Structure 1
Amino acid sequence: MFVSGVRTDFLSIHPARRNTRKETTWTTMIWLLLLGIFVSSTQSLGCPAGCVCNDDTFVVECEKSKLDVFPIALNPAIQRLVLKNNKIKTVDAALHFYRDLQYLDLSNNHLVSIPQGSFKDQEKLQELHLNKNKLSVVNNRTFTGLKSLTVLNLRENFLDELPKDLFYVLPNLEELNLGQNRISKIDKNAFSGLHSLRVLYLDDNLLSAVPTHSFSVMGNLAELHIGLNEFTDLKSNAFAGLGKLSVLDLNGAGLPNISESAFHGLVGLRTLNLADNRLRVIPTAQLSHLPRLEELTIGQNQFITIEANAFKGLSNLRKLDITGAQELEKIEKGAFSTNLNMETLILASNRKLQMLEEGSLVGLPNLRHLVLRANAIKTVSESLLSWNDLKVMELTDNTIHCDCQLLWLNKLLLKKNLTNIQCASPLQLKDKPLKMLRADDLGCSFSDPKQQAIMVTLGISAAVIIGLLCLFLFRYRQRVREALKDYKWNRAAISRKEHEYQKTFSDDEYIMRNTQSHMKPIPVTEL
């Protein structure tokens, strides 16, 4: 009974236990499933393959990681995210997870477009680099939400137009790079709202004229890079409204002409690059409107001569670079006579430049760096400038003819330890360092320059004295002739008188007189 009772009790409760077991099993399965999901999700969180993540500094770098989508499983607190050199094609919703970003680099990817509102949650973002992509169109909604952005880099894309109010939503932007695009049209209000902009790159585009009408809203602009375009000239007041501009880069702008008032209003300009244009003369009058200019680069143009006072008015000029002027042949005396504050002068790679006139570099008391590299200079005069004040001097890669005229330079190289100079001629000295040559090697008669100076002085003095004597004799030749006649007549008369005086004595008497005059008296002794 007991057993049967027990069994009966067991059987009576078994269905309930069986249900409990089923519930426990399902619960366990659910928990295992959730655990698996959690584990798998935990494994997916963190650094993607090829990335470097630092949770202490909140920096993630995924350079050349072969990513084709924006990573979604990174630490939401990251502040600096570098995704350059990947294959990302679009900026998707994943960006919204990273609201603390301050720096985002998406350069050198495959971005074709950016959906509107992609950056609406990036209120802390300060730098955005989208350069080296395939962006062809952007508008003012593209950058909505980037109210803290200070640097925007859109270089090397396919932008061809800047529409109205494009950057209006970026009130704190300080640097904007639009270089190496295909921009040919800029709306006059394209830069509206950029009151804080300090640096603007518009170089290497398809602009046919300086977009003067677009500059007026950027009164605080300090640097403008607008070279490598297709300008035909610079018109008057081309940079109106940019009174605080300090750096202007017009390198490779294709300029054959510059209006006399093109730089009017740029009273604070300190650095100007006019290299690689088509200027046939130094624009002296145009440059005179830049009284505070300190650095000027003007090589790779087509001028043949740098005339006297070519840089008149640039009293604060400290550095002048004339490199690669393929037609430049001559620098006239006084070319830099008004540039008394010049410290660095670079005249390099001007393959036809062989003449530096006497005095062309005179009057530069502050000159410390002189570069005359890779020209066609054969000799250098000691009186060209004050050589002892130089700290750096380069004369390499010239056609230097080493002779006694360069003995002073030989001694200067030893004394100052300046850049070495190799001889190009004569043949026996070819490729030999000037510093290592002796006075005899240079064909000098006297090794001491003082002796040479003394001999030259004596030679000149003797020539002057002889010349004056000849001039005196020629001028007073009549008097000299008469004096000589009188002298000869008097001498002839004296000779005749002596002859007559001697004739008054007979020969015997003359002999007797001479004998008596030479005879001594003989003393007589008395006996």
Structure 2
Amino acid sequence: MRMSGLYSILFVIITLTSIRRRETIEAASCRQDFSLKFAFCSDKGFRFVPTDLLPDLRGLFLDENFLTTLTNETFERYPRLRELTLDNNNISRIEEGAFSPLKNLFRFSIAYNLYVPTLKKSMFSSHSLADFNTAYSNVKTFAGDIVACLAQGTVLSLSGNNLRKINWTSSNLLSDIYLDSNIFRQISKESFIFNNSVNMLDLSRNPIEFIETIVISSFHVKHIILTDTGIAVSQVSNFFHGIRLSMFIKGFDFTGANFHTIRNGFFAPLKGKNLDKVDIEMNSIDMIEDNGFDGLAGVSQLQLGLKNLEEIEPSVFNGMMALRSLTLDANRILTLSGKSTPWNISLIHLNLAGNEFTAIDDSAFHGLKTLKTLDLSRNFKLQRWWVRYQLFLLKLCFIGYEEIHDDVDRGEFEYDIAIMLDEADDEWVNQHLRPALMERVPDFNRIVCGDEELMLGMYYLDAVHYATEKSFKTIFVISHAALQDQWFMMKFRTVLDHVNDVGTEKMILVFVEDIEDDELPFLIRLFLSDHRPYLVWPDDERGQDYFWEELIRDLTVNLRCNHLIPPN
């Protein structure tokens, strides 16, 4: 009997030791950043949350594991967590107080799980949640009380679930709400009680059959997105009427996939409504009647995606007296002519990038007396030199500006160039970039390239900051692989913060692959939208010669950031 008791004690000790050892192994398999106090435990095969990480952890990334249950004790060890990611697990059971220990939780994501049960206000104790994501987790109801406890400015994502009704009576001020790809069939008083004040509401890709005008008009929403719903023309009219009656809506995105003609009067319900921005994607449209845009006279920014249109006449925009920015990028427009009817609107910005122009008539821009910026990039059928020449003349004609050079001499820096890249791009850097620099700028020989050449004895991001701070120029090599690397994007944020602090255009992006706009992370889009320098590696030899000339020109001078000038 005594021996039996002794064996039992030994078994308990061995079991506890093994659990402790397993926890240590689990923690060791996570990549921990001791300066940021982040633990990266993604795709490690965990069935339980590791229990031996930093006790003062601020960020925990547990996506792509095999978690199924979250208990009241799961996060007790990490009360200082501000960021928690649980995406792509098999979570189907959450105890009532699972997240209660996390009083400072700021960013929460539990997207792409098998079946997330109804989340309740009582599960959370944090009052500072600013990013809440439960997308694609088979959510059927989302209680209004949890919406009421979200912090001001929160981004709430409920995309890709099974929501058909909401009853949110709170009036708190949120940022963006994503309800796209659910199963809403009606936007009516019975199915859509929504009193929150938000910047953007996305209702795309819902099978909407009925829209009640009074519900749209009651929204306290600045921008509403209703794309890829396949709604009937009669319901589009109700949608537009609701926007016109709204005191808050200042812009909308709309896709009408089943329409082939924009007829006179289509936008008439919007007549008299002033709107900041309208984005219209109608990929099946092949004709616009003469007064097709009648009703949009109060729109200041218009973006059109009309993939079947090969020609567009300036006259179709007549009457749009408030229009200042027109974007027609990524269409299939072949010709643009102002011979028959010149432009009769006061455009400041015109974007014709990504079309199929083979030539542009000399009269194409007649009437655009106020034009300041024109984008004809990515029209690959146009001769590159011709486009550059015309843009140069337009700049001299409409703009005329003086570049402001930075006074700091290159010799005052420890390095000439810092090159930031993903290891997948080593081959391109070694075969193309390094040889070109040696040949064309041999005196730029103080180069720090890649992670292995960063300063030793420093935390990783501190070493990245040191390299760019001590370099005259920093080149970022951008590829699909780089954009998938979380550490690469953290490097990008670190360098961008430094560049913004010093106010100098000392950072150049080099795209070694063709990357679509919608694949670009927000920070890179922000960088490009601010007219910052970037280059795209071309396939042809002539284009590559031009690429190196542009790169060397940008490398040899630092300009002060000037946000009042158009992009180069």
Counterpart in the other structure of 1:228: 205
> Could you list the runs of 5+ residues in structure 1 that have no partner in the other structure?
1-29, 403-407, 419-432, 434-527
Q: Which residue of 1 aligns with 2:558?
A: none
Identity of aligned pairs, percent?
13
The equivalent of 1:466 in structure 2 is: none
Greater shift in the superposed pair: 71-80 or 342-351? 342-351
Alignment of 1:265-280 (within 5 A): 265-279=245-259, 280=261
Scaled by the length of structure 1, the TM-score of the pair is 0.60
Shift of 1:176: 1.2
> What is the aligned partner in structure 1 of residue 230 from structure 2?
254
Which of these residues, 186, 191, 194, is aligned with residue 165 of structure 2?
Answer: 186
Task: Map Cα deviations across residues 108-145 of structure 1 (whole Å, 9 max, x no partner).
Answer: 22222323321222222122100121125314267343
Aligned to 2:102: 122
In 2, the alpha carbon distance for the partners of 1:247 and 1:261 equals 15
**Residue 298 (structure 1) aligned with residue 277 (structure 2):** no
Out of 341, 347, 355, the position equivalent to 1:366 is 347
Confirm or deny: 8 A CA contact 2:23 2:51 kept in the other structure.
no
Change (3 A) 1:263 1:169: closer
The whole-number CA distance in structure 2 between the counterparts of 1:137 and 1:37 is 32
- 1:321 equivalent to 2:312? Answer no
Whole-Å separation in 1 of the counterparts to 2:130 and 2:180? 20
SS at match of 2:244: coil
- Shift in CA distance, 380/153, structure 1 to aligned 2, threshold 3 Å: same
Given candidates 331, 337, 360, the residue that maps to 2:319 is: 337
1:51 to 2:34 alignment: no
Residue 81 of structure 2 corresponds to 101
Deviation at 1:261, TM superposition (A): 1.4
Q: Is the 8 A contact 2:350 2:375 kept in 1?
A: yes
In the alignment, structure 2 segments of 5+ residues that lack a partner are 1-8, 397-541, 543-568
Q: Distance in 2 between matches of 1:296 and 1:211?
A: 24
User: Take 2:231 and 2:82, find their aligned partners in 1: how far apart are those partners?
Assistant: 41
Please give the secondary structure, in 2, of the residue aligned with 1:221. strand
Q: Which residue of the partner structure matches residue 75 of structure 1?
A: 54
Q: RMSD across aligned C-alpha pairs, in angstroms?
A: 4.1
**Structure 1 residue 73: Cα displacement:** 2.0
Q: Deviations over 1:250-305 (max 9, x none)?
A: 12121332125131333443332113533442632133353032343334253611
* 8 A Cα contact 1:153 1:178, kept in partner: yes
- Cα 1:368–1:263, aligned 2, differ >3 Å: closer, same or farther? closer
* Cα contact 2:171–2:197 (8 A) shared by 1: no
Cα gap change, 1:354 to 1:88, in 2 (>3 Å):
same
Secondary structure (helix, strand or coil) at the match of 1:237 reads helix
The answer as to whether partners of 2:228 and 2:255 remain within 8 angstroms in 1 is yes
1:285 and 2:262 equivalent? no
- Is residue 88–residue 112 contact of structure 2 (8 Å, CA) maintained in 1? yes
Contact 1:205 1:229 in 2 (8 A): yes
Deviations 1:149-185 (A, max 9, x none): 23210112222x22654625624362210111232x2
Instruction: Give the AA of the match of 2:161.
Output: N
Distance 2:325 2:391 in 1: 20
| CA shift in 2, pair 1:273/1:376, >3 Å | same
Per the TM alignment, residue 67 of structure 1 is displaced from its structure 2 partner at its CA by 1.5
Mapped partners of 1:163, 1:39: distance in 2? 41
Look up the match of 2:44. 65
Q: Is 1:242 equivalent to 2:219 in the alignment?
A: yes
Compute the displacement of 1:205 (Å): 1.6
| Pick aligned residue for 2:374 from 381, 388, 392 | 392
Change in Cα spacing, 1:235 to 1:285, as seen in structure 2 (3 Å) is farther
| Correspondent of 1:137 among 107, 117, 141 | 117
SS of residue paired to 2:328: strand
The one-character-per-residue Cα deviations of 1:453-500 (angstroms, maximum 9, x if unpaired) are xxxxxxxxxxxxxxxxxxxxxxxxxxxxxxxxxxxxxxxxxxxxxxxx
Q: 1:395 to 1:139 in 2, by over 3 A?
A: closer
Task: Report the AA paired with residue 102 of structure 1.
Answer: R
Instruction: Report the Cα distance in structure 2 between the residues aligned to 1:380 and 1:211, rounded to whole angstroms.
Output: 50
Per-residue deviation, residues 40-76 of structure 1 (Å, max 9, x unmatched): 9599559613212244443222122222211122233
Q: Pick from 48, 63, 67: which aligns with 1:84?
A: 63
Match of 1:307 among 290, 299, 322: 290
> Which string of whole-angstrom CA distances, capped at 9 and with x for unpartnered residues, describes residues 4-29 of structure 1?
xxxxxxxxxxxxxxxxxxxxxxxxxx
3-state SS of 1:108 partner: coil
Say if 2:40 and 2:60, in contact at 8 Å, map to a contact too: yes
| Structure with greater proportional strand content | 2
Once the two structures are TM-superposed, the CA of residue 202 in structure 1 deviates from its matched residue by 0.6
Kept after mapping to 2: 8 A contact 1:82/1:105:
yes
Q: Which residue of 1 aligns with 2:91?
A: 111
* Corresponding letter in the other structure for 1:392: L
User: Is the contact made by 1:305 and 1:329 (CA closer than 8 Å) also made in structure 2?
Assistant: no
Which residue identity does 1:126 align to in structure 2? F
Return the offset for 1:201.
Answer: 0.4
2-structure distance, mates of 1:210, 1:103: 34
1:167 is paired with a residue of what secondary structure?
helix
Relative contact order, CA 8 A, sep 6+: which one is greater?
Answer: 2
User: 1:471 — aligned with what?
Assistant: none
Q: Distance in 2 between matches of 1:81 and 1:411?
A: 52
Q: Which residue of 2 aligns with 1:499?
A: none
For 2:179 and 2:112, how far apart are their aligned partners in 1?
15
User: For the structure 1 residues 209 and 287, does the alpha-carbon distance in structure 2 shift closer, same or farther, using more than 3 Å as the test?
Assistant: same
Larger CA deviation: 387-396 vs 282-291: 387-396
AA aligned to 2:141 is L
